[in-house]
Structure 1
Amino acid sequence: MSYESENKLPAGTSVKRLKEVVELLGYMSVKDGFKIPERVGCYFWHDPSEYKSWTGVELSIYYDEGALKLSTRTRVSRSYWDLTHQNKTIKMVRDIFGGTFVTDEGASRYLQPEHPPPSPLSSGCYLARWKFNNALLKARWYLSCRKLEGDAARDAPSPLSFLDEMNPRLLSNNLLVPFIIAVWEEYYRATFTAVLRYADKREVVLKKARLSHAQLEQIAAEKQIERAIAECFSFQRPSVIGDNFKMIDARLDLVGAMRKPHRRRKVTLSDSIESLVVARNAFVHAGDMDMSLFDKDLQTIMSDIVVAVDRSYEAIGSHFGFTTIHDY
């Protein structure tokens, strides 16, 4: 699903001037891989400042039965600011060149945001959660497409332990764990970056961050300073994650959220994920496989980290007073 518009320009409109206006609006010329004979321009707008854009605005200039037209498109997952810029584009093209326009709302009707704009902090935390969701989908898709055949790839322990060591299913499942932890770590690093950016007190974090010369050069080259600082810390173990966020605000207790009961288990989510990180390190650094990691256990791991991430996301939203967004 998407939100689309089409401006029909008057006869004699200069394509060159139209492109200049589009570029003044911040659009960049791109190649989308499609060869459309009547299209004379393909553009994309995205504003990462203050976490404004989520999916950006797509724009095309083309001829349709001799008439020059400009179309815009935002995806269903667009942000308030993406839609606002889409409306701004429609209006400016109409104001400068004249002509008519139509959107999904109807003729001469602008697109209407469904919700007021979230705060930059809320938007930054949502983007981290959204990217986590999209990344984890890759693992789920991999598992749905994976085809392991033969008795050696059994989805249960073998009576002979040495056969499990040759089980391709166990190797495949173990190979996914580093990816899952990487996705987990990136979620917390990206969230930490957003929280740090809008925090009132950052002195403790700045003192503990030991920026390298290379990182300082990246900051000088306009890399987000909060991201560079976040890269100084580890975000794998829940206990370490909790300590990192407490540097920003001592009252922000993410580990406490992960320690709440889950499905009447004796082992908390926090402790389960701590053990998963240990297993990940053993596999990555020494090649030691978890010989009990069959498909059901892997699905449990992915379910657990989603619950843990959502608890953290909700805890941050509650602490800073914003409503979490779950439209992925």
Structure 2
Amino acid sequence: MHLRFPSACDIDQHDFAAILDAIHDEVRQRLGEGRQADYIKALAEVSLDGFGMALVLRDGRVFEVGSARHRFTIQSISKVHTLTLALDAVGDALWERVDREPSGDAFNSLIQLEYEKGIPRNPFMNAGALVVADVVLSSCSDARSRLLAFMRARSGNPGVACDEDVARSEAETGHRNLALAHFIKSYGNLHNPVEDVLDFYYHQCALSMDCVDLARSMQYLAGNGHCSVSGEQVVSGELATRINAMMMTAGTYDAAGDFAFYVGLPAKSGVGGGIVAVVPHVLSLCVWYPGLDDKGNSLLGRYALHRFSRMTGLSVF
């Protein structure tokens, strides 16, 4: 079977501004649905009356609607970027410490670690992200500065920063992450002190960005590894394909199958209400709505991406 990707001419046939406006009109009728991530105090206080959506084409054109410039903490979306840094640092050796399979369990589950001897099922569930964080910590002298520089370069926004209040809030309530880290450490799969791994992990999750920043930050995965924002070749085309595959199979936790069915795009969600998605070779996009469904994914964000793929016909299937 020959896969045909949309050409520039095909893309120009879409009135993205009108499409985003139509989606925004639909979503506004449902504001208030879902619930915030109330187990993190700083996130529990976010109002459910905001929605934003932005997309960035390969040529750099930006289309946005609603609160697309409202900053929020990106939470688990950051796992895409730390995975990229870890793969850059150690290559395929990473897969000796974390697997590449869908989990079937909640993102903060401890269940499989006992059976699989401290090897997390994938790099996007919390256990896997802690191993990835450990790899990044071992690869450079200042992991937080390394990640911050990476995010600023990918988004083109030198103002990207960490929300220290959110990082502190997560550390105060992160008992399950602490348990996960110690459990993985007991199997020798964390090489740095647990407190250092968790500190980096909480700060990566507390990065504050908006929909436009995040859509731009995913451009390298829409462009065969090339970041159109900075002009850099961030990863190889092959590796960009593999990261997109991981997002498709595990990026929305134990809802990945349902998300693939309804949206059909590689995506990564975060409990701050953001979801990033990629149309390979075409565009990247981000939605934000802080009301979550029972799987921890943005309820109206998922709906907006579903409507986008149906209205445009853009899907990997």
Q: TM-score range by the shorter chain?
A: under 0.3
TM-score between the two structures when normalised by the length of structure 1? 0.27
Provide TM-score, normalisation by structure 2.
Answer: 0.27
Larger radius of gyration: 1
